[in-house]
Structure 1
Amino acid sequence: MGISVVWRGAFGSAELSALHASAFGGPGAARDWWAQVNAHSLGWVTGRDGAELVGFVNVAWDGGEHAFVLDTMVAAAYRRGGAGARLVALAAEHARTTGCRWLHVDFEPHLTKFYVEACGFTPTPAGLISLLALP
């Protein structure tokens, strides 16, 4: 099962919503993903096996030197074979060529091996506030 990865590849919002629900659990919210990434992202990477969307990573940015990996998703049948690392590598390559100097990612502890070992991120201290927990 080989996939082709494409910077700013075309996708449909329904197929990305289905991949998001599969990757993160739950039914997922229907949204206009295409409008969202075009309005707010530096770019994104799609992964396809033929016509089927099997991977995606969004790259947000601050308009300057910092880019941020968000919503890395790979269909279950394609996990643990390097597909996710290929998506992130292409995202990093394009973030660099657009002038970004830093690529950030936040992740839960169970994803440390993927992001640090497979993708080459360096762990750093960071902070987080849950905005849902604010009074």
Structure 2
Amino acid sequence: MSIELVARFAVDDQQLSALHALAFGGEPVVQPWAERLERWALSWVGAFGNDQLIGFVQVCWDGGAHAFVLDTAVDPEYGRQGIGKRLVLAAAEEARAAGCEWLHVDFEPHLTAFYLEACGFRPTDAGLLKLR
């Protein structure tokens, strides 16, 4: 199957919510993805196979030098085929084209090899404050 990456595609909230639930676990709860992305994201990229959304990543930013990778998701049925890496590298290109100097990502320990080795991020110290 040929996989096509599409930046800033027309988002279907139900479709993206279902993909998010598949990738992260849990029941699909429809979220207002299209509205959020239009308002807050620098860009987003979808991976499509046979016109079906099978992967997604978004890039948020501070309006200047810093961009942030969020919600990298691939349908588990299509995992381990390089789709996630292609999505993250496409997101990096979107941030670069917008003039960003830095691309940040936070990830859980089991994703270290993916982000550091496969996608080329380097480790940094960071902090996290739980607000709710």
The TM-score, its normalising length taken from structure 2, stands at 0.96
8 Å contact 1:11–1:53 — kept in the other structure?
A: no
Aligned to 2:49: 49
Distance in 2, matches of 1:125 and 1:96, equals 23
Q: Distance in 2 between matches of 1:129 and 1:21?
A: 25
Given that residues 18 and 29 in structure 2 are in contact (C-alpha distance below 8 angstroms), is that contact kept between their aligned partners in structure 1?
no
Give the TM-score of the pair, scaled to structure 1: 0.94
- Unaligned runs of 5+ residues in structure 2 are none
Classify the secondary structure of the residue corresponding to 2:48.
strand
- Cα-to-partner distance string for 1:31-77 (whole Å, 9 max, x where unaligned): 11001100000010000002110000010000111000000000012
Instruction: Provide the rounded CA distance (Å) in 1 between the counterparts of 2:127 and 2:22.
Output: 28
Indicate the percent of aligned positions where both proteins have the same amino acid. 56
Aligned-residue RMSD, C-alpha: 0.9
Instruction: Give the deviation of 1:19 after TM superposition.
Output: 0.3
| 1:73-100 Cα deviation digits (max 9, x unpaired) | 0001211111000001111011001100
Secondary structure of 2:125's match?
A: coil
Question: Hey, what's the Cα distance between the residues in 2 that align with 1:84 and 1:122?
Answer: 17
1:93 alignment partner in structure 2: 93
**1:111-126 correspondence runs (5 A):** 111-126=111-126
Task: Number of aligned residue pairs: give it.
Answer: 132
